[in-house]
Structure 1
Amino acid sequence: MKRDELEQLSKNELIELQLAQNEQLARLQAAFEQLKADYEALLYKFEHNQKKPPPTSKNSSQPPSRDQKPKKPKHHGRKRKHGPPEGHEKHERQLVANPDQVVELHPQRCQACQTDLSQAAGQLTKVNQVTELPPAKAQVLEVRQYEVACLHCGRTEVAQPPAGLEMERTFGARLEATVVYLRQEQHLSYQRTQEALRLLSGVDISQGAIDHIMRRAGQSALAQVPAIQAVVTRSPVIHCDETGCRVEGSNWWEWVFCTPQAVLHLIRHNRSADIIREVMGTFEAEVWVSDCHTAQLKAPSKERQLCLAHQHRNLQALVEAQPQLLWPKEMQVLFQHAIHVHHERQKLSPAAFEKQVARVERICERLLNRPNAPPEIGKLLRRYQKHRPSLFVFLHRTDVEPTNNVAEQALRPSVIHRKVTNGFRSGWGAKAYAAIASVIHTAERSGGNAFQAIQSLFGPPALPLQARCE
């Protein structure tokens, strides 16, 4: 309103006008405060999302297969030549000393004048070796069992077949081991296993027979699990890890317990510390190597070694989220240096090694003594302060590794099997798989291989026949 209009109003009218304006101003002030709060909330969300990097295998426990693959840059101009670099030394397959067969190539006739050269002395000019597979054809062994009445007392004697040629057996141990190897190690389905055996060996086998073979292998492997478990529980250092798996459409967990002498796989329906107590019983390890999962931290052991590879990834996530912070970068450098000192142990004198260890411990104390630490590093700082004795156990013992790579590598075939087969359709299949994996990995610890370990579950092979029947 203009001045002359206001002068014409009475006192009461001016009061009412002022009150109306005050009420309108209050509503506008409330609307402004609400808009300001909404703006600050949106700004916080934007900054939070901007600072939080996407999880990758380098800053979290996410597997590399889930990483976003970077797009290859386009080449401008001449593309890089494929193959070995210029000057690369050529490596050829070595010739074996005792070939199975030798093919002699002698000229028989002169191509110019047709003179007979079959009796002429020749000079060796070149030797080449070709490695080939013999024709694939499985052999069928017919076992005929006879009984004879004793001419003296009349007792009936029945000839007993040797191991591998039992009268109840349909397939030999080597063939059965091949079935399990294709299923367990090469992750083939029942149908693909059928096709592989038919094309490579000429064997027609039903899926029911494959299932029966897998059950027999699982039962035989399960019988060896207690012995493997006994070796694991009595080991001074145990590496432990777990990964998810699917059993009958539900989420289960596969556990692995690794020692230098044995590896134990278990598939259970939970991820709690009860599984560790089930395995360890009354035994206590000297050192337990694992990540920071709550169940792992409850394992019975005198000391613990946290996996520094996991800690490095957690620090990397903080570095990417808060690049201005120096503390996570310094902790990463410290962990990397400690691992380097561990690897150089054999090259350093005892005094030099102890000096390096003391330096690592001294730097760690300085980095963890942060009374006024920023809140961004609070979680990891409190973790390392709490588990300070579990950071560098590997520097004080020669039988402890700084990472849990041993257990993670033991679980890697199981992860591949899960992705290829999409899990187990039955509980017994999961238990059989874990038991067979335990037998295989334990055999590999002593220099064996997967096929030999699987074949041992079925007994000696039927071939060569003469050796079996002597």
Structure 2
Amino acid sequence: MEIPEEIKSKFPDCPPEIVAYIYYLHEKIDKLEARVTELESRLNLNSSNSGKPPSSDGYTHKNRTTSLRKKTQKKPGGQPGHTGKTLEQSSNPDHLETHSPEVCSCCGRSLQNGAIIGIEKRQVFDLPPPPSIEIIEHQSITKICTHCGGKTSGTFPQGVTQPVQYGSRIKAYLSYLVHYQFIPYERATEACYDLFGISISPGTIVNITRTLSEKLILFHESVKNALKCESVIHNDETGIRVEGKLNWLHVTSSSRLTSYSVQTKRGTEGINNIGVLPIYTGISVHDFWKPYLSYSCTHSFCCAHILRELKRVEEETEQKWPNILSELLIQAKGLKEIFHTDDIPIPRIMMNSIKSSYDELIQAGLDENPPPVHIAGKRGRKKKSFARNLLERLDIHKDGVLRFIEHIRVPFDNNLAERDIRMMKVKMKISGGFRDRANAEAVVLIRSYISTIRKNGERVIEAINDAFNNNPWMPETHTGLNDA
């Protein structure tokens, strides 16, 4: 803000030290006003206009009702044409119980020889009694040869290495409870006692976790190799605590694969340690976090993040272009759902129209938010507004923002990676953090396995049991870089 000319005109009549002090105060006021604006902007941030998680919104009425979803004419619940699912009778029940009347309800005579004229069936779906632990004793018999006198012993089955040990299925059930259902170790031991009648210590569950993770090392390497060949992958990261220090959980995933990794660094050093993005040549979907842009693959940006940022600009500036641009992106998303669902490209004329409107709105925003003017005599560059920074970013990375309308396999947002990482955030809310790095790395490896087998329609407990038996589910590696 410039000092008014009528004030400046009186400076010659003032002592120099007064003039200098006025300039000092004026510069101080500028800095304080900028700081107040920045703090007010931060104060107004919530999950609907920034990347903040919904859990940080609190319980105020305003934050509970803010959403990027638009109101529709649809009523809550199932929509017309929706094929509902209900419990249906089985044609092959496990048990059959008949309930035949003994005497007539009218005259009281015996119905032993009465003719059957109808049968009404009712079925009850229930669980059998809790299973009890089955103890299998393996005996290795040693025999002596009558010919040479040599002694030969029978071979124990693979995996039977201790005088007393738990079998693979009880280990699979405990791993399922702890690492899929996120039941804390102490409560998992209680559940084990209530369900199966055996007492297992939390320390045993820790050892089971380490054993399972060791059996999944080859699986995890196979997943990372398969991700390098996917046409589209998703990337995201979040903070976790390991040994009381801030670490970073990275996720690299696709519609059929998930790979988690714990790194001490958030940026390129951690990403390079994972080893997927540095040599990946397909399309990577992520937010605008700068380290992702340092890799030579094709980039696609999460438009859900952009919609939240546009809402923030609209709330702070009351300008019209953010809302119109949001509606344009949502309209493009609707076209994608219409055409790409059937593997049909969006017609070129429609894509060109969206791109043209996008350019016009970005230019309108740039005109309304000019770059800050450098004031002569002041050192350094003046900070750009959030709106200006966003506009320049959307202008420079236009192709990455609108890539979802050009490629059938590229989604509108990065929700797949965010859903994958959300489950680990649930784990963090329950446990608070990991006491040691080895346990953290073991848990994220197991979660990579569980997430991947779920995406491929496999049963979690059976797949974990197979892993304990040295036969984990493995992904098929195929080259699909041209499928996008």
Q: TM-score range by the shorter chain?
A: 0.7 to 0.9
Aligned AA (1:158): S
Report the equivalent of 2:481: none
Deviation at 1:215, TM superposition (A): 1.1
Deviation at 1:154, TM superposition (A): 3.8
Report the equivalent of 1:446: 456
Structure-2 separation of matches of 1:362 and 1:292: 22
Q: 1:153 to 1:124 in 2, by over 3 A?
A: farther
Match of 2:252 among 257, 262, 283: 257
Structure-1 separation of matches of 2:416 and 2:87: 32
Aligned AA (1:94): E
Structure-2 separation of matches of 1:43 and 1:340: 42
Tell me the SS of whatever aligns to 1:138.
coil
Counterpart mapping for 1:192-231 below 5 A: 192-231=187-226
Aligned residues: 426
Match of 2:241 among 237, 246, 262: 246
Deviation at 1:121, TM superposition (A): 3.1
Q: 1:219 to 1:91 in 2, by over 3 A?
A: closer
- CA deviations over 1:148-171 (Å, ceiling 9, x no partner): 223444443322234465556611
Deviation at 1:66, TM superposition (A): 2.0
Is structure 2 residue 269 aligned with structure 1 residue 274? Answer: yes
Q: 1:115 to 1:148 in 2, by over 3 A?
A: farther
**Deviation larger for 49-58 or 189-198:** 49-58
Deviation at 1:310, TM superposition (A): 0.8
Report the equivalent of 1:292: 288
Aligned AA (1:129): Q
Is structure 2 residue 389 aligned with structure 1 residue 379? Answer: yes
Structure-2 separation of matches of 1:284 and 1:182: 35
Counterpart mapping for 1:134-173 below 5 A: 134-136=128-130, 137-163=132-158, 170-173=165-168
TM-score scaled by length of structure 2? 0.78
After superposition, the CA RMSD in angstroms is 3.6
Structure-1 separation of matches of 2:320 and 2:294: 32
Deviation at 1:428, TM superposition (A): 0.6
* Cα pair 1:60 1:313 within 8 Å, conserved: yes
Is structure 2 residue 383 aligned with structure 1 residue 388? Answer: no
Deviation at 1:247, TM superposition (A): 0.7
Aligned AA (1:55): L
* Cα pair 1:106 1:122 within 8 Å, conserved: no
Q: Which has the larger radius of gyration?
A: 1
Report the equivalent of 2:317: 322
Report the equivalent of 1:368: 362
Deviation at 1:207, TM superposition (A): 2.3
Report the equivalent of 1:436: 446
Structure-1 separation of matches of 2:51 and 2:26: 39
- CA deviations over 1:395-430 (Å, ceiling 9, x no partner): 222221121111111111100000011111110111
* Cα pair 2:343 2:408 within 8 Å, conserved: no
Aligned AA (2:467): L
Structure-2 separation of matches of 1:273 and 1:169: 47
Report the equivalent of 1:339: 333
Report the equivalent of 2:71: none
Q: 1:358 to 1:450 in 2, by over 3 A?
A: same
* Cα pair 1:173 1:460 within 8 Å, conserved: no
- CA deviations over 1:62-109 (Å, ceiling 9, x no partner): 11122233459xxxxxxxxxx999x99997521122111111111123
Tell me the SS of whatever aligns to 1:256.
strand
Report the equivalent of 2:51: 61
Deviation at 1:52, TM superposition (A): 6.0
Q: What stretches of structure 2 of length at least 5 have no aligned partner?
A: 1-12, 63-75, 371-384, 472-484
* Cα pair 1:288 1:299 within 8 Å, conserved: no
Structure-2 separation of matches of 1:347 and 1:224: 32
* Cα pair 2:336 2:346 within 8 Å, conserved: no
Structure-1 separation of matches of 2:280 and 2:121: 61
Deviation at 1:232, TM superposition (A): 1.2
Deviation at 1:131, TM superposition (A): 1.8
Report the equivalent of 1:10: none
Q: 1:204 to 1:118 in 2, by over 3 A?
A: farther
Report the equivalent of 2:479: none
Structure-1 separation of matches of 2:341 and 2:186: 53
Tell me the SS of whatever aligns to 2:230.
coil
TM-score scaled by length of structure 1? 0.80
Report the equivalent of 1:117: 111
Q: Percent same amino acid among aligned pairs?
A: 25
Deviation at 1:313, TM superposition (A): 0.9
